């Protein structure tokens, strides 16, 4: 009787266990060093990305057009670009 309960508990634990995956690294692009782009690179410098569990790297991609092309191509995940460039 005890072996059946133990076997049932072990089977339930193995059946309900989820697989573990590595945390994905997200690339965040910015176009320059102007002050209005500080919300992109300041959290990385202050350590806020790692504090809140966001595994991200900040990369410099000059020009909004190149940023949109990189997003469409899948090279980067987030970008700070103007809306007109994204629409055109």
In a domain, 44, yes or no: yes
* Spatial CA neighbour of 56 closest among 37, 70, 35, 42: 42
In a domain, 51, yes or no: yes
C-alpha to C-alpha distance for 80 and 7, rounded to whole angstroms: 54
In a domain, 1, yes or no: no
* Residue numbers of the domain that contains 42: 19-87
C-alpha to C-alpha distance for 63 and 79, rounded to whole angstroms: 11
In a domain, 54, yes or no: yes
CB 36 within 8 A of CB 69: no
Torsion angles phi and psi, residue 24, rounded to 5: -75, 140
Number of structural domains in the chain: 1
What's 28's domain CATH number?
Answer: 3.40.190.10
Range from 1-5, 26-30, 41-45, 54-58 carrying the lowest mean pLDDT: 1-5
pLDDT digits over 42-88, tens only? 888 899 988 998 888 999 998 888 988 999 999 999 988 877 777 77
In a domain, 11, yes or no: no
């Amino acid at each position: 009787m005890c072996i059946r309960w133990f076997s049932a508990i072990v089977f339930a634990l193995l059946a309900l266990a989820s697989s573990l995956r590595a945390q994905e690294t997200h690339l965040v692009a910015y176009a320059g060093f102007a002050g209005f782009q500080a919300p992109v690179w300041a959290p990385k410098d202050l350590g806020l990305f790692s504090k809140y569990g966001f595994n991200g790297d900040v990369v410099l991609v000059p020009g909004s057009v190149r940023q949109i092309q990189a997003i469409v191509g899948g090279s980067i995940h987030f970008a700070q670009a103007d809306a007109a460039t994204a629409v055109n």
